[in-house]
Amino acid sequence: MSLKKVELESLAKSFLLFFLSLSLLMSLILYKNYTSNIKALDTDLYTQMRLCSFDLKCTQFTFDFVSAKDEETYQFTPGEQGPFALFKLPNKSNYVLKLLYPKENYNKEKKNLQTKYIYDYLLFLLILSIISISFSWYALRPLRHALILSDEFIKDILHDFNTPLSSLRLNSSLLQNELPHNKKLGRIEQAVETILNLQNNLRSYIDESPLHNEELDLKDLIKKRSVYFSENYPDISFHAKLDALCISTNTDAMTRILDNILSNAAKYNKKDGSVEIRLDADKAQLIIADTGRGIKNPKKVFDRFYKEHDRGLGIGLHIVKKLADAMHIPIQVDSKLEVGSTFTLNLKELISS
């Protein structure tokens, strides 16, 4: 089973947390060992210089007799030509013995140490990455198991909805034929459609399958959905100014987007309010504006489970954003309290060539 977005995000964050923490600790340890080995190299060279100063039977050092100045003797000293040490000569107070280790050889030994530690570092990084991904996967298992159970539960509930809903719609239609002017039956139909819309929202919420595009007459779809909502919300007036526009998109996903925005525009509108729908073919924009209560925090309106009223679950607009992102539709919301909200969808990416 492929990982969902939330699972991939959790896996990536866990991996980075473990990997970066262990890598930082390992880097500090290796750096300390490297500096210790450089000091050990210097100490070893100085020991060899002291032994060489007794008989000068050594080939790795060059030696010379220099004037005794203020420089300290019997000390390993870095120099431009390489590290050196000065040793006193017996009965020669004006001169000292200078043993020099060539800079090229010294740098070569340091480079060999650096190369060794780089290889060790890369090897440790590989080992740490394997450990981190294994530990992250192990830590993810409970979350993944819980998500699988949650999805299966929701899918079972959605499946079980079908039988009573079908029975409700069938009996409602039969009663509508017998009592064509009964307003209570209209409310029942509206309640059934609301449950169906919630069912579709939940299905869209858990659906991770790729969207398949087809040619869609957006003007015709908007007309159908606006008529549907105008019948369900007779106190709200719907005004549509629609240009002809054909796009390449997933019809079901676009329907879900329209239904959620139009449903919110009608549900949270003022008494005798209005909803204006504009489809501009030149700008390739769909604009849905209402005269509703407005939104306190427009930036949070697409967050999962965010809601400012007791009604609803707080997933409708999250689904809108989720589907819009999947179809590459930039969406913007502008809102003022007690004035209304405006949703703008940019459809340039969906224009059929």
Ordered by start, the domain boundaries in the chain are 5-138, 213-350
Residues 176-186 as b/e (b if ≥16 CB within 10 A, e otherwise) read eeeeeeeeebe
215 vs 209: CA distance, rounded Å: 19
SS3 content of the chain, % helix, strand, coil (to 5): 55, 20, 25
Give the number of other CB atoms < 10 A from CB of residue 317: 24
Give the number of other CB atoms < 10 A from CB of residue 23: 16
Q: Give the per-residue pLDDT at 190.
A: 67
298 vs 333: CA distance, rounded Å: 7
CB 21 within 8 A of CB 129: no
- Which backbone phi and psi does 242 adopt, to 5 degrees? -120, 125
Domain 213-350 has CATH 3.30.930.10: no
Q: Give the per-residue pLDDT at 197.
A: 66
Is this prediction's pTM over 0.75? no
Q: Give the per-residue pLDDT at 43.
A: 93
Nearest to 316 by CA among 237, 251, 262: 262
Q: Which residues of the chain have pLDDT under 70?
A: 1-4, 70, 92, 158-162, 182-183, 186-187, 190, 194, 197-198, 200-211, 310-313, 352-353
Q: Give the per-residue pLDDT at 351.
A: 82
